[in-house]
């Protein structure tokens, strides 16, 4: 499959993700330029070969969304109805754009938990990641908001959770498989689980000032902590604030505050 085809699928997925995340926030439509800017890291798109093959064959995807309040969709201390939360909207958009053979359509499980940071998700997954991700085609991680104030710990936790999703555990391997995964000097090399991963970055308004575009000075999310981990593992990052901003002028900041 040509690289441009994988870029198209990531671009399309980013559009669907952004539409599902932002559609309840404002009536302002997303432009192609916004979609392009939202992809802050394309990653190793070979990771998505299984996803692409399923869509091409009209097979249904099994997707799981992991995150915090943004994915739970808490708004002014109330819960938005299930059908208006972005994982449900993503499922609707996928079924509209990529209909599959099963009448039930693509499945997007919302497993988010409010106020749950990456460190807490690591505790939840420890020893259980195989059960969580068995048969899952794509895991979407929305953890950047709850890591916004964690500094260096955010990058450490990002590396741990990404390894838990993408790297095989010895628990699932036979003795023969473990021997094949061991190098001549005795090092164990964990193979790819086959599950595609994407980071979906949302941002918080709790911290000021509004992002003006200066690299690594954004404090509204932990995208810059996640970026080197994403680059190392070849994982795409889709960022809402990068689609909409930056906001270097008072006029753009006013547009942002009034529209979103």
User: pLDDT tens digits, residue range 56-72?
Assistant: 899 999 999 998 888 88
SS3 250: helix
**Residue 207 domain-assigned (yes or no):** yes
**Over the stretch 203-258, which tens digit does the pLDDT of each residue have?**
877 666 788 888 777 888 888 889 999 999 999 999 888 888 899 999 998 888 87
- The number of domains in the chain is 1
**Residue 175 domain-assigned (yes or no):** no
**Over the stretch 90-99, which tens digit does the pLDDT of each residue have?**
888 889 888 9
- The CATH number given to whatever domain includes residue 106 is 3.40.50.1110
**Over the stretch 143-173, which tens digit does the pLDDT of each residue have?**
888 777 677 888 899 999 998 888 766 556 6
More confident residue, 22 or 46: 46
Neighbours of 57 (CB within 10 A): 10
What is the domain extent for residue 146? 3-164+194-259
């Amino acid at each position: 499959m040509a690289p441009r085809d994988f870029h198209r699928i990531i671009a399309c997925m980013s559009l669907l993700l952004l539409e599902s995340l932002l559609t309840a926030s404002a009536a302002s439509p997303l432009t192609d330029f916004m979609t392009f800017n939202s992809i802050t890291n394309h990653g190793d798109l070979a990771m998505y070969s299984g996803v692409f093959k399923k869509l091409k064959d009209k097979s249904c995807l099994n997707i799981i969304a992991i995150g915090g309040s943004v994915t739970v969709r808490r708004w002014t201390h109330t819960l938005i109805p299930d059908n208006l939360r972005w994982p449900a909207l993503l499922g609707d958009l996928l079924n509209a754009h990529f209909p599959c053979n099963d009448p039930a359509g693509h499945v997007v499980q919302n497993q988010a938990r409010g106020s749950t940071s990456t460190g807490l998700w690591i505790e939840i997954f420890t020893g259980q990641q195989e059960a969580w991700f068995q048969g899952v085609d794509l895991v979407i991680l929305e953890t950047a908001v709850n890591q916004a104030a964690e500094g260096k710990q955010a990058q450490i936790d990002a590396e741990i959770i990404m390894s838990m999703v993408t790297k095989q555990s010895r628990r699932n391997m036979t003795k023969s498989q473990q021997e094949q995964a061991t190098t001549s000097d005795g090092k164990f090399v964990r193979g790819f689980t086959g599950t595609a991963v994407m980071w979906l970055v949302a941002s918080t308004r709790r911290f000021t000032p509004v992002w003006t575009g200066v690299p690594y000075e954004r404090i509204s999310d932990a995208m810059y902590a996640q970026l080197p981990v994403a680059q190392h593992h070849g994982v795409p990052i889709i960022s809402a604030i990068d689609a909409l901003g930056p906001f270097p002028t008072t006029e753009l900041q006013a547009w942002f505050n009034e529209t979103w």
